[in-house]
Chain A
Amino acid sequence: MSTAAAAHDDHHHHAPTGLKRWLFSTNHKDIGTLYLWFSFIMFLVGGLLAMVIRTELLEPGMQFVDPEFFNQMTTVHGLAMVFGAVMPGFVGFANWMIPLMIGAPDMALPRMNNWSFWILPFAFLILLSSVFMSAFGAGHPSAPNFGWTFYAPLSTEYGPASTDLFILSVHMMGISSIMGAINVIVTVFNLRAPGMTLMKMPLFVWTWLITAFLLIAVMPVLAGAVTMMLTDRHFGTSFFSAAGGGDPVLFQHVFWFFGHPEVYIMILPAFGIVSSIIPTFARKQLFGYASMVYATASIALLSFVVWAHHMFTVGMPLAGTLFFMYMTMLISVPTGVKVFNWVATMWRGSMTFELPMKWAIAFVILFTCGGLSGLMLAITPVDFQYHDTYFVVAHFHYVLVTGAVFSMFAAAYYWLPKWSGVMPNKLLGELHFWSSLLSVNLLFFPMHFVGLAGMPRRYADYALQFADYNFWISIGGFWFGLSQLFFLAVCLLCAMKKGEKAAARPWDGAEGLEWEVPSPAPFHTFETPPVVK
């Protein structure tokens, strides 16, 4: 009996419908779809919170919310975007595409897969309930208000009661991501079709494999950090409390030991996506496949030894700051290799500019901008000036929004035909792209300037000289937020199967196993593994 058919015996005999289909699903495609919708909903929720921030900052002075509520908005916006939108979004793509790309019938541990997803909505219900209570509840008890980085002692001695909800919710998100990561690794190691050697795997699979290892290495450290917070708050320990002999700076070390690899967790899968899309529309092989794999691996390894670039200003010995500065700069070498390879792939290709390619090219250019501002921040003395200003906000929104999020838009337009069987609506897609592209730059580019001029982040107000820039930043924000409604429409149309029928290989330059199955991909695929030459 063949491996794949055996593993999937139990799927043949039932196909539940309605709510049960989604609740009990162990099918990688269903779970992928759940993850993707969840991620998109969190993107909209997190976006709404950001609109509150930008409304308050539209004009100097206090207009709409009080500073306490403002702090809760920045905190929960960050948490919802990082843990709710970006990470689950990539897990959704992994679920849908990894089995299709390596010729596996499903993920290796389908029941665990169901768990990893269904923990998430509850984790976010818990977290968002605190925002709801803060906005509408009696006495307006504070939601978490210490920033997404939840530095001690803000989150320990000074944390509101809802901090405990936050801790529970982070634990649940962590368990979910660890299970998701384990599933990816087991699938890639054990379920590849015959002939699919590691060095033949599409880059999206490679980058996800490495991401999964990063997740297993650092999500437990995050769990450790919140556990220490919990015992500091309630069980008399003093890991982070100076009064009891602990040290709040230790918190920052533990957090960023997780936090920096975490930012790569949010970008490596994006590298994989772009590396799949660019060759398709340049109609050329990816330039430097092997160097892409090695670059990804070295980025992942280096990401463990740069964490203190987030804390140059806490006071470190000179040798320490120099070490972290050089290591951080070193990361831009493999990152540069990647950008070079993408450009080299496009060089003299027969390029066409369908929607996925437009997003991918925007990614390459704008992500590189974000990388460059990162390089500026890596210079210790410069960072003393820029740390905790809007310059940092500009940096990480370029790498995360025009980087990670744009790559997910690219991926969605690229694979929607495979998922739904219909082509995404072209007109709406073009509107979505151009409207997002212009607004996102209006939103984030001026943040560089106000940051360099000294506007600090995480304040509900600002000095008068920043008023004009902030006005336009807010306009960019509202515009970008509204532009996402085009994408909502695109997704709904595809979900309702309204649109031009998609061929099995809707993009003529596309290569890879996922295009060998019909569009929409049937519920079960590759039950007998394909043979890869």
Chain B
Amino acid sequence: MSHDSLEHRNKRTLRKLLIWALAMFGFAFAMVPFYDVICDITGLNGKTSSTASTEGPARTVEDRTVTVEFITQRGQGVNGDFMSATRRVKVHPGEITLVNFYASNPKTSEIVTQSIPSVTPGEAARYLHKTQCFCFDQQTLGAGERKEMPMIFYLDPELPEHITTLTLSYTIFDVTDRVAANNDTVMNNNTVAK
């Protein structure tokens, strides 16, 4: 065996292993979309659909009653009120129900908020359909404003039998800075384009 051949072999193995390490670095990022897909299928993270459902319920199951509870939480930086008009409602699957939520902004400047829903148990998330929700869009609250934010939902008649109670939780986040930062980049891009 010649000198070259060992060095050559070492380099070749080194190169293969480096490529593998890089691929695994990429794999970490590939886990992000993969996780989203798994969540959609299994309801792993309890997220409800972020768009309004366009079809109404197929039927109403009068002889079944399910309790839906509401929880509200404030994310970092939000110090106004955020609550639902009612803590819990009893509904029949297929029955369309309206629940009002309230948010207030005690600050002296306008804030932009985004609410994030989550359902427990996660597997119920797919069966909770909303025809209207304040969480579909960012909500702007003027200085000192108190806002009523309606949410209209129904439970899918196919909701698995063993689920008798489900909890819908909302966390409200102040995304003013985030929105401002995005606008900045948009503006910068525009300037560059001009």
Report A's interface with B, CB cutoff 8 A: 1-3, 6-7, 108-109, 153, 157-158, 178, 181-182, 185-186, 189-190, 216-221, 223-225, 227-228, 236, 239, 242-244, 247, 249-250, 253-254, 257, 315-317, 320
Contacting pair B24 A220 (CB below 8 A): yes
Q: How far is the CA of A217 from the CA of B21 in the complex (A)?
A: 6
Q: How far is the CA of A221 from the CA of B114 in the complex (A)?
A: 30
Indicate which residue in B28, B32, B39, B47 contacts A220 across the interface (CB closer than 8 Å): B28
Q: How far is the CA of A1 from the CA of B1 in the complex (A)?
A: 8
Contacting pair B43 A317 (CB below 8 A): yes
Size range of the chain B interface in the assembly? 35 or more
Distance between B36 CB and nearest chain A CB, rounded to angstroms: 8
Q: How far is the CA of A242 from the CA of B174 in the complex (A)?
A: 11
Q: What are 28 contact pairs spanning A and B, CB under 8 A?
A: A1-B2, A2-B1, A3-B1, A6-B3, A109-B10, A181-B17, A186-B14, A186-B17, A190-B9, A190-B10, A219-B21, A219-B24, A223-B28, A224-B27, A236-B182, A239-B32, A242-B173, A243-B175, A243-B178, A247-B39, A249-B44, A249-B45, A250-B32, A253-B31, A257-B31, A315-B120, A317-B43, A320-B42
Q: How far is the CA of A181 from the CA of B16 in the complex (A)?
A: 13
Please give me the residue from chain A that is nearest to B22 by CB atom: A220
Contacting pair B25 A220 (CB below 8 A): yes
Q: Does B18 contact A (CB under 8 A)?
A: yes
Contacts of A216 in B (CB 8 A): 17, 20-21, 24
Indicate which residue in B10, B20, B25, B75 contacts A108 across the interface (CB closer than 8 Å): B10
Task: Scan B88-126; emit 1 where CB is below 8 A from any A CB, else 0.
Answer: 000000000000000000000000001010001111000
Contacts of B25 in A (CB 8 A): 220-221, 223-224
Q: Does B13 contact A (CB under 8 A)?
A: yes
Q: Does B181 contact A (CB under 8 A)?
A: yes
Contacts of A320 in B (CB 8 A): 42, 44
Distance between A65 CB and nearest chain B CB, rounded to angstroms: 26
Contacts of B44 in A (CB 8 A): 249, 315-317, 320
- Known contacts A220-B21, A317-B43: A225-B13 contact under CB 8 Å: no
Please give me the residue from chain B that is nearest to A186 by CB atom: B13
Q: Does B190 contact A (CB under 8 A)?
A: no
Contacting pair A254 B14 (CB below 8 A): no
Q: How far is the CA of A216 from the CA of B158 in the complex (A)?
A: 46
Contacts of A182 in B (CB 8 A): 14, 17-18, 21
Contacts of A227 in B (CB 8 A): 28
Q: Does B6 contact A (CB under 8 A)?
A: yes
Contacts of B21 in A (CB 8 A): 178, 182, 216, 219-220
Indicate which residue in A189, A225, A317 contacts B28 across the interface (CB closer than 8 Å): A225
Contacts of A218 in B (CB 8 A): 24
Contacts of B122 in A (CB 8 A): 315-317
Contacting pair A247 B175 (CB below 8 A): no
Q: How far is the CA of A254 from the CA of B46 in the complex (A)?
A: 18
- Known contacts A1-B3, A186-B14, A189-B13: A221-B28 contact under CB 8 Å: yes
Contacting pair A250 B18 (CB below 8 A): no
Indicate which residue in B13, B27, B35, B178 contacts A250 across the interface (CB closer than 8 Å): B35
Indicate which residue in A6, A228, A317 contacts B42 across the interface (CB closer than 8 Å): A317
Please give me the residue from chain B that is nearest to A236 by CB atom: B181
Contacts of B114 in A (CB 8 A): 243
Distance between A321 CB and nearest chain B CB, rounded to angstroms: 11
Please give me the residue from chain A that is nearest to B115 by CB atom: A243
Distance between B39 CB and nearest chain A CB, rounded to angstroms: 8
Q: Does B84 contact A (CB under 8 A)?
A: no
Contacting pair A158 B76 (CB below 8 A): yes
- Known contacts A254-B28, A315-B46: A157-B76 contact under CB 8 Å: yes
Q: How far is the CA of A517 from the CA of B175 in the complex (A)?
A: 67
Contacts of A249 in B (CB 8 A): 44-45
Q: How far is the CA of A102 from the CA of B24 in the complex (A)?
A: 29
Q: How far is the CA of A7 from the CA of B9 in the complex (A)?
A: 12
Q: Does B171 contact A (CB under 8 A)?
A: yes
The 6 A-B pairs with the shortest beta carbon distances in the complex, nearest first, are: A224-B28, A243-B173, A220-B24, A220-B25, A6-B3, A221-B28
Contacting pair B116 A242 (CB below 8 A): yes
Distance between B99 CB and nearest chain A CB, rounded to angstroms: 21
Indicate which residue in B13, B39, B121, B178 contacts A190 across the interface (CB closer than 8 Å): B13
Q: How far is the CA of A3 from the CA of B24 in the complex (A)?
A: 33
Q: How far is the CA of A353 from the CA of B44 in the complex (A)?
A: 53
Distance between A417 CB and nearest chain B CB, rounded to angstroms: 32
Indicate which residue in A185, A254, A257 contacts B17 across the interface (CB closer than 8 Å): A185
Please give me the residue from chain A that is nearest to B122 by CB atom: A315
- Known contacts A243-B178, A250-B31, A257-B31: A317-B75 contact under CB 8 Å: no
Contacts of B13 in A (CB 8 A): 108, 185-186, 189-190
Contacting pair B24 A317 (CB below 8 A): no
- Known contacts A6-B3, A178-B21, A190-B9: A109-B75 contact under CB 8 Å: no
Q: How far is the CA of A257 from the CA of B44 in the complex (A)?
A: 17
Contacting pair B171 A242 (CB below 8 A): yes
Contacts of A247 in B (CB 8 A): 35, 39, 45, 47
Distance between B17 CB and nearest chain A CB, rounded to angstroms: 5
Within B123-140, the residues touching A (CB, 8 Å) are 123
Q: How far is the CA of A218 from the CA of B174 in the complex (A)?
A: 35
Contacting pair B6 A190 (CB below 8 A): yes
Distance between A481 CB and nearest chain B CB, rounded to angstroms: 36
Contacting pair A244 B175 (CB below 8 A): yes
Identify the interface centre among B3, B23, B42: most chain A CB within 10 Å of its CB.
B3
Contacts of B116 in A (CB 8 A): 242-243
Contacts of B43 in A (CB 8 A): 317
Distance between A111 CB and nearest chain B CB, rounded to angstroms: 12
Distance between B159 CB and nearest chain A CB, rounded to angstroms: 15
Within B27-64, the residues touching A (CB, 8 Å) are 27-29, 31-32, 35, 39, 42-47
Contacting pair A253 B28 (CB below 8 A): no
Contacts of A1 in B (CB 8 A): 2-3
